[in-house]
Structure 1
Amino acid sequence: MSADSSSPSPAPASADAAATGAGRARRGGKRQRPRNPAPAATTPDAAPGVAKAPRTPHPVLEQLAGLYPHLFGAVFRPLKRGIFQDLLAAHPDAFEREALKVALGIHTRSTRYLQAVAAGEQRHDLQGQPVEAMAPEHVHHALLEVYRRRKNQKGRPTEDLLPKLRNRIIAAFEASGLTREAYTELVVGRDDAANAILEEAFAEWAARNAKAEALLRAFEASGSTLEQFADMYGMDPRSTGQQLERARKLAAAAQGNPSASTPAV
């Protein structure tokens, strides 16, 4: 027997090849037992999902929450500009400069902090006293950032957040007391999508104004009381009164009455 005849035959590459090999063995006069099939590959059960451990707060932020719970505690308050220097001056030996800078950066980029800014809250000093109005552009950009984060949040139910965002932009714009042109100059940037949302909000704001003005003209022509007028058109008296007051303020602003508290125009 040659060395070649003693070497084992290679295993068939497929089921069809295995059947052909078995037939050849039978024709040779000796039936070969089929090899035991290899056991099916088993995949171990996937480990159950392990909940992510909560993020460990930055140690300096924990320290700040202990010192100033009214600013860094359960409720976040917008911080006055220059709070970094105020903290170093108040606690010269408590904080390492770079660590404090990093901690404040984490804090002011957090969603909870941005929500406070987006709400238009005033900036606060270390004593928790409001000392400075929030700049309109800071409110606007915080609104956009909170919207982006909510929109991209995993597992969030499908919801159109744009109408709420437009409403909040309108409210922030009116609270600023600026003209449309001045507000636009402050907040418009390079983000075309954000700029488009602003234009949509302005269009909705203009439509509301036109509706309120038309309602005021109809009310004045009717000679009715507010309750009678609202009942005539199937409207809520309270909502109708708010729209009429809005229209009166717009009219006063158009006439240049400085004593009128007017929506931004």
Structure 2
Amino acid sequence: MTEPEITSEPALAATAAPAASGAPAPKGRRRQQGRPQPQAAGRAPARAPSPVLERLFELYPKMFGARFLPLKLGVYQELLALHGEEFKKEDLKLAMGQHARSTRYLESVAAGEKRHDLQGEPVEDVSPEHVQQAIFEVYRRRKARSKEDPRAWLLARLEHAIDQSGLDREAWDARVGTTDDFSVAALDEAFAVVREKVARREALRRAFEASGLGVDEFASMYGMDPDVVKFALSRAAARPA
């Protein structure tokens, strides 16, 4: 029977099974002894750290350490090929699912970070559909634990994702296929903001080209930061005509 491919995509519907009890802690990382600390009211008990994830932290601290980054596609198969004698397939699958469903991991996807290899080097962009999926999932989690609606965060993340993709609304919808009313309304608002940004950048590009000046001189004439001008010009050039 062929093993199903496990990637680092946000698996938002499923829930990872807890690690097997009694598993030995990796060398050099002792489990805390003594009575468990009382949980704050209204909070679920914290999930025990996965021994597999603790070992992955030791092997690849840039990817499983303090900062989470999106993993490249096919990383499960690569880990099996590299450490098949150390990790059982099912244990590794559960650990990777737990990692990819964590809020910290989803936040890195929602922020538009690139996919990285096990050495922490960026290798490719996350697809727009997976970025959007992560954005809405993190929004739901934030809203569930906060008295304030994090809608401003949601719109800012959507605007950034749309802007970085270079896609117009028709192309975005063709790839992502959003249908629920809330998501469609949020995308409508985000796309309106992005269209305004694109129009301002295009106007700046035309003014810059017509001026015949260098970036520093042009920025000084309009009282702008040269770095802001450079960024706007680069984004205007990258945007399809």
TM, length-normalised to structure 1: 0.61
- 1:223-245, Cα deviation, whole Å (9 max, x unpaired): xx765655xxxxxx339x94898
Corresponding position of 1:204: 193
Q: CA deviation at 1:113?
A: 0.5
Note closer, same or farther for the CA distance 1:227–1:123 as it changes in structure 2 (3 Å cut): closer
Unmatched segments (≥5 aa) in structure 2: 1-36, 212-217
Unmatched segments (≥5 aa) in structure 1: 1-48, 231-236, 251-259
Note closer, same or farther for the CA distance 1:208–1:57 as it changes in structure 2 (3 Å cut): same
Question: Which deviates more, 74-83 or 163-172?
Answer: 163-172
Note closer, same or farther for the CA distance 1:215–1:131 as it changes in structure 2 (3 Å cut): closer
Question: Which of 238, 241, 247 is the aligned partner of 2:225?
Answer: 238
Letter in 1 for 2:162: F
Equivalent residues of 1:76, 1:116 under 8 A apart: yes
Computing the radius of gyration from Cα coordinates, the structure with the larger value is: 1
- For residues 58 and 249 of structure 1, what CA distance do their matches in structure 2 show? 42
Corresponding position of 1:84: 76
Equivalent residues of 1:70, 1:128 under 8 A apart: yes
- For residues 188 and 153 of structure 2, what CA distance do their matches in structure 1 show? 15
Equivalent residues of 2:70, 2:113 under 8 A apart: yes
- 1:191-224, Cα deviation, whole Å (9 max, x unpaired): 3211211111112223444566678899989xxx
The percentage of aligned residue pairs carrying the same residue is: 46
3-state SS in 2 of match to 1:152? helix
Question: Which of 154, 165, 173 is the aligned partner of 1:184?
Answer: 173
Corresponding position of 1:174: 163
Question: Which has the bigger relative contact order, CA under 8 A and spacing at least 6?
Answer: 2
Alignment of 1:67-146 (within 5 A): 67-146=59-138
3-state SS in 2 of match to 1:131? strand
TM, length-normalised to structure 2: 0.66
Alignment of 1:29-68 (within 5 A): 50-52=38-40, 54-68=46-60
Equivalent residues of 1:216, 1:244 under 8 A apart: no
